[in-house]
Structure 1
Amino acid sequence: MTYRFSANEQFDYEIRLALGSGWRQGADVGEVLATASAVADGDGETWCTAWAELARGVRERAERAAAEGRTVSARDGWLRAAGYSGTALVGVDAAADPEKRLAEVFAEHRACFDRFLGAWDPPAEPVSIPYEDTSLPGYLVGPSGGSGPLPTLIVNNGSDGPISSAWTLLGAPAVARGYRVLLFDGPGQQSMLFERGVTFRPDWENVITPVVDFLLARPGTDPRRLALAGISQAGYWVPRSLAFEHRIAAAVADPGVVRVADSWWHNLGPDLRTLWESGDRAAFDGFMAEGLRRDPALATLWRWRAKPYGVDSPFDLLTEVSRYDVTPVAGRITTPLLITDPDGEHFWPGAAQELYDLLPGPKQLVRFTEEEGAHLHCEPMGRALFEQRVFDWLDGRLTRSDG
């Protein structure tokens, strides 16, 4: 790469993601760069504080604009504030009182995003999706002037991203093209985790099927034009769901993921994997505890990544993550699936091609390169190119036939 914003790989990526969201008004480049320059080489506490303060200032200006009847300024400000609060959450586990700080920052994030969607034209509809003995919170967002049955895109978020990122990465470009969009939190994601303590599950078809049931029961859904698109770890959840849920007309995995655990072992290395495979739980947990004690930055990242699984023991955690493997069911997938394959994919290198090779049905592998500026996980700074390629493909698959 020709440039970096931080020596910390996670911080560098988050800054890129924030900059890229500016394409859909989720951030202002100047605000991002000014904040990044102050925190790029700091610790998690510094990171969390700076982005939360930026979010608070932007929200205050948005509230003043709303009070003055300046609806566009208010709406745009609420979206940026939601995004900056979401960025702050990446470092929250380094805070002196992480649980208290998480509750505060997440409440700010969600309040701003709610205000943004309430100011959308037309206002988004908050929804509650029946799910087992509870419900999944979400939003239905439609295009201005949209009426009658519309193509609908289910946006499946990843492992730890805020819902504001799901909007800028997939929701906003879909609505701009005339789709109705469903944003939701599934098990282990944001509000389901932080407010209800519901953790991830590998059998994601048991999440997507209730979502499809919910949408098909609504009069505004065209059952022939229902799509599913997933970000980051949803590159596993999307194909897993398609193996069992066949009412979806087309889907996108950004990027393709076969085994979620590969992203963990990529960073831990072969020696630790050998120790884990030996089954010596006590030795593995002891080694990991010492390593995390010596590296506070790694410990913060580990806690953030582990939180949605609800498993404390590193040995048990990796045993659980290893269940997230699409290989046994990939042969059942018949839904047309587009898989992104960006240069520099650092979580699941090579997985997009592997998933593509496993699929028996209609499929498309789409490369994004560093030369195009659209490299790295989820193409953080190549959003215009991503939207053109991915949504042109989706539009082609969802073209309505009146026959």
Structure 2
Amino acid sequence: MKRISGDRHPGPTRRALLTAGAGAALAAGCARGGAPGAPAAASSGPATPTAAAGGLTPGVMTLFKDPAYNFNGLLALGASGAGAAEVGEVLTAVNAINGSGLTAQTYTQTFRTLGDQLLKAPPGAPADGQSKRFRALRAAQYYGQALFFVLGSDDPGSEEQLYKAGRGAWDAFCDLCEPAPVKANVPYGTTPLPVWFFRPDGSDTPRPTVILTNGSDGQNVDMWTYGVPAALDRGWNALVYDGPGQGQLLFVDQVVFTPTWEKVVTPLVDWLSARPDVDPGRIALTGLSMAGDLAPRAAAFETRIAALVAMPGCLEPWLGFPPEIRQILTPDKQETNDIWNKEVVPELPPDAAAVMKKRFEPFSVPAMLEARQGKLFTDFYTPATRIRALSITDVVGRIKAPTLVLDYEGEQFYPGQPRRMYDALTSPKDYLRLTAAQGAQLHCSPMAPQLHCEVVFDWLRTTLGVR
């Protein structure tokens, strides 16, 4: 499998290449949990919109012509199977956005308004607890949809407020669950990790437990879609959490991603192992999207993880960016930032600038705060270096836990990396590619999260010997 090269290209000027690369990043899409990159599994070049979405989202699967918006729309549509969206609501929003003209503003405003409406009383009789519960869950989904594109909208400064609206809807949903998840703050440095511990019932029966790890810009509601009901229906516990660079820690506490994810997971395992309703010998760890890098990193050092699932496998998140973007980074900070500010930024189209704001904010508090002011960050070097530091090529061989590596036909963010991870593993391992024939194509199978969960939990049950 080819490794994507970061070597400089001869021929056209660097400025032309860099600007084209940023445009390609936007064209390929910048969807939740991923990073813009080459869509072809063995490609060494920048992404193309046709390869990224057109051929793999035919007919009614193309909600929006822009692949980035389309991918996010498909995530919302797919979440309906878990009650985290409603098909009619999503498609009505899609029609409204397309009717008004697709922009970050129309997308953000339409889904934010939909979230607001769901937190109000429904038509007809007063809502009972179940209606309020799932209306809040759907609201969390729609706020998450709006949040993703808010930095490109007319009101980027509302990002934290929009995050808090989605978090409030999520908490309202959780409070109405039966039993309600245990909420806690697990110690981590100076900023505790908020956790939501879901259980099938309130007994102290020791149960297998899965820690669900989100990607670079997913929300808690995505962990519901990609694991919580599947765990509960099988008699498992499920732990949802915000780590550095995610959710509360990013948008409120202003803590960015760390490459040492074992320091995040180990306190979670400590907390779980102390509970009577957790079987400490059957704690599994999953990682969705960029967490297909984070979770394996943790498992390389946290030996109490009994089984690991990477969804998809990712060894080097930095390679998810097109070569033209990666070429900006040099060993020298001043040189790097001069290239960025003098050669790239002046010619960067507004939509491409919005992509870069979104991609870099989980790795740089100044970049996030500048984006909320409608500005593009000036320090490219620091966040780019942090992204590159997420490489786990040198530690993946340390993983001892049985590991399932998922891959997806048309994987547009980390092409080729799942197979590279599988080949590098020395632990018991399995590799599975979900396909378009199953309706499970593209990064994280946005249209088939139920199938996705079936694959993951069937493997976990067999691997951990759970009946």
TM interval, short-chain normalised: over 0.9
Does the alignment pair 1:24 with 2:82?
Answer: yes
2:115 to 55, 62, 65: 55
Q: Provide the rounded CA distance (Å) in 2 between the counterparts of 1:77 and 1:64.
A: 14
Equivalences for residues 307-346 of structure 1 within 5 A = 307-310=361-364, 312=377, 313-346=379-412
Query: 1:202-259 CA deviation, whole Å, 9 max, x = no partner?
Result: 1111111111111112222111110111111000001111110110110111100010
Q: Provide the rounded CA distance (Å) in 1 between the counterparts of 2:190 and 2:382.
A: 27
TM-score (norm 1): 0.93
Q: Which moved more, 1:282-291 or 1:26-35?
A: 282-291
Q: Does the 8 A contact of 1:20 with 1:382 survive in 2?
A: yes
Stretches of structure 1 that go unaligned for 5 or more consecutive residues are: none
Does the alignment pair 1:252 with 2:309?
Answer: yes
Does the alignment pair 1:92 with 2:154?
Answer: no
- Find the counterpart in structure 2 of residue 79 from structure 1: 137
Q: Does the 8 A contact of 1:139 with 1:183 survive in 2?
A: yes
Equivalences for residues 338-377 of structure 1 within 5 A = 338-377=404-443
Q: Does the 8 A contact of 1:252 with 1:337 survive in 2?
A: yes
**Number of paired residues?**
392
What is the identity, as a one-letter code, of the residue corresponding to 1:156? T
What is the identity, as a one-letter code, of the residue corresponding to 2:266? T
Alpha-carbon shift at residue 149 of structure 1 (Å): 0.7
What is the identity, as a one-letter code, of the residue corresponding to 1:52? R
Alpha-carbon shift at residue 274 of structure 1 (Å): 4.0
SS in 1 for 2:310: strand
What is the identity, as a one-letter code, of the residue corresponding to 1:343? E
Q: Which moved more, 1:374-383 or 1:170-179?
A: 170-179
Alpha-carbon shift at residue 387 of structure 1 (Å): 1.8
Q: Provide the rounded CA distance (Å) in 2 between the counterparts of 1:81 and 1:371.
A: 31
Q: Could you say if the C-alpha distance between residues 146 and 369 of structure 1 is closer, same or farther in structure 2, counting changes exceeding 3 Å?
A: farther
Q: Provide the rounded CA distance (Å) in 2 between the counterparts of 1:287 and 1:29.
A: 44
Q: Does the 8 A contact of 2:80 with 2:86 survive in 1?
A: yes
1:168 to 219, 225, 228: 225
Does the alignment pair 1:8 with 2:66?
Answer: yes
What is the identity, as a one-letter code, of the residue corresponding to 2:420? E
Stretches of structure 2 that go unaligned for 5 or more consecutive residues are: 1-55, 368-376
2:161 to 76, 95, 104: 104
Alpha-carbon shift at residue 378 of structure 1 (Å): 0.5
SS in 1 for 2:235: coil
Root-mean-square deviation (Å) = 1.9
- Find the counterpart in structure 1 of residue 176 from structure 2: 119
Does the alignment pair 1:200 with 2:257?
Answer: yes
2:358 to 299, 304, 308: 304
Q: Does the 8 A contact of 1:174 with 1:181 survive in 2?
A: yes
Alpha-carbon shift at residue 69 of structure 1 (Å): 5.8
What is the identity, as a one-letter code, of the residue corresponding to 1:259? E
- Find the counterpart in structure 2 of residue 36 from structure 1: 94
Q: Does the 8 A contact of 2:312 with 2:406 survive in 1?
A: yes
Query: 1:189-209 CA deviation, whole Å, 9 max, x = no partner?
Result: 011111111111111111111
Alpha-carbon shift at residue 105 of structure 1 (Å): 1.5
Alpha-carbon shift at residue 273 of structure 1 (Å): 3.8
Q: Does the 8 A contact of 1:342 with 1:377 survive in 2?
A: yes
What is the identity, as a one-letter code, of the residue corresponding to 1:344? G
What is the identity, as a one-letter code, of the residue corresponding to 1:25? G
Alpha-carbon shift at residue 371 of structure 1 (Å): 1.2
Alpha-carbon shift at residue 123 of structure 1 (Å): 1.1
2:105 to 12, 21, 45: 45
TM-score (norm 2): 0.80
Q: Does the 8 A contact of 1:62 with 1:78 survive in 2?
A: no
Q: Could you say if the C-alpha distance between residues 296 and 218 of structure 1 is closer, same or farther in structure 2, counting changes exceeding 3 Å?
A: same
Q: Does the 8 A contact of 1:44 with 1:300 survive in 2?
A: no
What is the identity, as a one-letter code, of the residue corresponding to 1:34? T
Q: Provide the rounded CA distance (Å) in 2 between the counterparts of 1:315 and 1:78.
A: 40
Q: Provide the rounded CA distance (Å) in 1 between the counterparts of 2:214 and 2:195.
A: 12
Query: 1:149-194 CA deviation, whole Å, 9 max, x = no partner?
Result: 1111111110001111111112221122111111110001011111
Q: Does the 8 A contact of 2:225 with 2:449 survive in 1?
A: no
Q: Does the 8 A contact of 1:129 with 1:135 survive in 2?
A: yes
Identity of aligned residues (%): 35
- Find the counterpart in structure 1 of residue 342 from structure 2: 286
Q: Could you say if the C-alpha distance between residues 291 and 63 of structure 1 is closer, same or farther in structure 2, counting changes exceeding 3 Å?
A: farther
